[in-house]
């Protein structure tokens, strides 16, 4: 495997995510979007928070199994026994949660469509690296376990799991970003409600 290429791909992915996040925040700073009033708005906000929490804990759970050995070992237990890409699955759930928290269908669509257009290429590239590194073992794993949508009946887990604590600490920090972003979105909405931030237009 070309580790330099993999590292470069990771940096591009992070830059892409940060650029998209910056665009969303800039839009929200000048638009007065809210999930809505009353029960409907509360349900949308609660659904957004639920997705963000699931994403954060799901990414940590997945990282317990893979932290420090993403390509060096073929991980087939825990969440990786039901889907080959649980980290990206939970990231999509988190992106949907952030979209719901903004109260804008446009931003929800922007986040999910951006994920759908970009991350399949990331997944295919990573799988090609795993295929080159692990050969028939990966081929057998790929035939048994779905690429993205989990098959719960396949789930299995070991009694113990060796964890790279440094990588797990990084995973905890990464997962916390979903919660921080949700909190910032709530703050932006409060600032709009208090007329501290301008409302130049409203996004659908």
The confidence score (pLDDT) of residue 45 equals 87
pLDDT tens per residue, range 14-64: 677 778 788 888 888 888 766 666 677 788 889 999 999 999 999 999 999
The stretches in the chain having pLDDT less than 50 are 1-7
SS3 label, residue 31: strand
Contact (CB, 8 A) for 24 and 110: yes
Q: Taking a C-beta distance cutoff of 8 angstroms, is the pair 89, 83 a contact?
A: yes
- Specify which residues 165 forms β-bridges with: none
First vs last C-alpha separation in the chain? 45
Q: What is the CATH number of domain 40-193?
A: 1.20.120
pTM of the model: 0.86
Please choose, from the candidates 75, 45, 48, the residue with its C-alpha nearest in 3D space to the C-alpha of residue 61: 75
pLDDT for the residue numbered 200? 85
């Amino acid at each position: 495997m070309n580790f330099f290429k993999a590292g470069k791909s990771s940096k591009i992915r992070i830059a892409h995510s940060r650029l998209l996040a910056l665009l969303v925040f800039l839009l929200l700073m000048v638009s007065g979007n809210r999930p809505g009033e009353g029960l409907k708005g509360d349900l949308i906000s609660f659904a957004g928070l639920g997705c963000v929490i699931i994403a954060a804990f799901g990414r940590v759970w997945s990282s317990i199994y893979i932290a420090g050995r993403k390509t060096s070992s073929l991980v087939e237990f825990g969440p990786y026994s039901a889907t080959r890409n649980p980290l990206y699955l939970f990231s999509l759930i988190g992106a949907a949660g952030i979209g719901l928290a903004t109260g804008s269908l446009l931003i929800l669509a922007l986040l999910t469509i951006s994920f759908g257009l970009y991350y399949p290429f990331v997944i295919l590239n990573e799988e090609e690296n795993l295929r080159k590194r692990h050969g028939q073992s990966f081929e057998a794993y790929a035939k048994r376990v779905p690429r993205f949508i989990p098959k719960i009946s396949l789930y299995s887990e070991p009694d113990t799991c060796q964890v790279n604590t440094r990588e797990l600490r990084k995973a905890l920090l990464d997962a916390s970003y979903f919660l921080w972003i949700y909190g910032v979105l709530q703050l932006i909405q409060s600032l709009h409600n208090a007329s501290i931030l301008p409302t130049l237009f409203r996004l659908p």
